[in-house]
Amino acid sequence: MVGFPAHDNGPLRRNLLAVRVTPKASRNEITGLYRAADGAVSLSVKVTAAPDKGQANAAVIKALAKAMMVSKSTFHLVKGQTDRNKTFEITGPLQPVEAFLASLTETGHPDGEDH
């Protein structure tokens, strides 16, 4: 994973956030930014929930809200209900999301440590 500024080909486009999800992980965490083979950048999120009946999607929303210190209702899944690549519409101020994305370091982790 490589860090990219949110404003420079990053996962945030207008009010849409691209997210790549890994379900059934050992812990819930945002691991940084992910660049796909086609060059698309998304926020990489791991959740412990299984991709069953929307459990993983709900866990992703909870993880995003907690990390960005916003309400869960800020994020609405608009694409990728059953796909690991998802697009969330952000309702409300973009500043907390932009600030979080800007805090990501070259290691891809908000705290700067290589986990």
Lookup: tokens for 73: 């209702």
Look up the pTM and report it.
0.82
Question: Has residue 108 been placed in a domain?
Answer: no
**pLDDT tens per residue across span 73-115:** 999 999 999 999 999 999 989 999 999 999 885 444 454 444 4
Question: Has residue 76 been placed in a domain?
Answer: yes
Question: Has residue 113 been placed in a domain?
Answer: no
Separation CA 67–CA 2 (nearest Å): 19
Question: Has residue 100 been placed in a domain?
Answer: no
Question: Could you tell me the CATH number of the domain that includes residue 45?
Answer: 3.30.1200.10
Question: Has residue 44 been placed in a domain?
Answer: yes
Question: Has residue 7 been placed in a domain?
Answer: no
Question: Has residue 3 been placed in a domain?
Answer: no
Structural domain range at position 23: 12-95
Question: Has residue 114 been placed in a domain?
Answer: no
The total number of structural domains in the chain stands at: 1
**pLDDT tens per residue across span 36-51:** 999 899 999 999 999 9
